[in-house]
A and B are shown apart, each in its own frame.
Chain A
Amino acid sequence: MSIHETAAPACHQPLTLKDFKSGVEPIWCPGCGDFGVLQSLQRALAAHGRPPHEVALVSGIGCSSRLPAYTSAYGFHGVHGRALPVAAGLKLARPDLEVIVVGGDGDGYSIGGNHFLHACRRNVNLTYIVMDNRVYGMTKGQPSPTTEADWDSDIAPGGSGVQPFSPLAIALAAGANFVARGFALDVKPLADILVAAIRHPGFSFVEVLSPCITFRPEEMEWKKAVQRGALSVNTDRAAAMAMALSVNELASGIIFQGDRPAYSETLPAPTGLAAIEKEFELNAA
């Protein structure tokens, strides 16, 4: 198969959330915010209208990164922090697929931080959903790059003393073409954001506040604290950046929709291998 021979997307058909469910039982703790993200994503995919076999979910390692197996789409559950390059390779090899990347804040902002910067910059037509619980859930409760400096943990008693960073501001600075924040337990509004993100060309980044009920039970307060609608759509990157730096980290909504052209998926018409083989020849008869 070559990149040119890939199948054209099939026509859209009416789909429901159920079409995107798999038989695999989630390992998540009851009440984990990631259930809300899963449901929102299944709704969004049904609304988007492409069948499960045309969708590929790519993830790294963490509680949140388990998500691909819980849908009926194709999936790739790779190594910790490297989901974005896997997805870029897959999407560029197969532009006909809908490729969505999911993972946690440790996976995406810490070990995978470099890839996050370059995915924003490269602007491949992907959607990246980070389930940010401000903790490493799977390894049982260590502070991540979005954890408050004074959050007490076994590994950093009394707090890490290190200030969290703002994923939205970083995504904007690095060149993401769509930036938003949602809340895991607001399933319907989150699904709407995800549909917009999937349909926006280029690299779409959605930061989802997703409470870890086990290691950060206090995050259940987000139900009240989230500032719904505090983010509004900007098409100017500088205005979006000003907003990202002035609101607090619980503000939700779409903050930026840009018009950067996506990393090219089209390729020049191939000319064939024969001419290349000729380059090696000397003294050809």
Chain B
Amino acid sequence: MKEEHFQKQIDTEQKIEPKDWMPEQYRKHLIRQISQHAHSEVIGMQPEGNWITRAPSLRAKMILLAKVQDEAGHGLYLYSACETLGISREKLVQQLHDEKAKYSSIFNYPTLTWADMGAIGWLVDGAAIINQVSLQRTSYGPYSRAMIKICKEESFHQRQGYEIMAEMAKGTPEQKTMAQDALNRFWWPSIMMFGPQDSESPRTGNAMKWKIKRQTNDELRQSFIDKTVGQAEIIGLKIPDPDLKWNEERKHYDFGEMDWEEFWNVVNGNGPCNKQRLAHHKKAHDEGEWVRNAAQEYAKKQESATN
């Protein structure tokens, strides 16, 4: 009966709100997905933070700082949305540290040159945008509202990255090589951000029925590839996929096979930077503990002073 009412709300495009009844599996699925999304925003600050002190100009530095600050904000919007499901932020962070919660594997790749800032903004934020635009229509109200806010802020992220790539691609031969190298390294991990193929993705069923997800991994991936190919052509860079070819019948690009062994390897903690990313997060969290304690002591003191 309750379940029927719930499904009817979903089918008629009404949002589910925190106080509404929901199946336990729906709640669980959302906590897993939203927290993974929040952790990705937060861990995602590290590869870019790596270049803030070495940005090639003041303009570039201010832009990168603003972008990284936005990502912190995205993490917070998402933690807030997740907390409405009855889990505390402290517990969410604990799950990240205990490796019970995951974050997007893309952030386990190193950022070796300044061109990587271009590739990340253009491709990684570009892929995230495709996913997030789709999630604006997710059935859970707080998640949907967080996505709407995030999408408004994302478009500058992708544009600043593409601008870096375009500038470098028309710069010196060394700069162009650097840009192409960044594209070569980030292309496959970026298209793997959409997750396993639909045929390999056991959780898609309920997620679609409950409208947590509105499009499948493969649909989102295709949409990203279709949008990006032309952008690479315009700036004279080559996407590292020999099988990439326009399919007139499908009206989409065909593309090559992804290296799923590498994908699962990185998901399971063996990517180039998994250990470093998590260790850094733990260290920052631990080193901030005295600040949190002091702030609470100060708040207590003030409260007793006014009472």
A and B are partners in one complex rather than unrelated chains: no
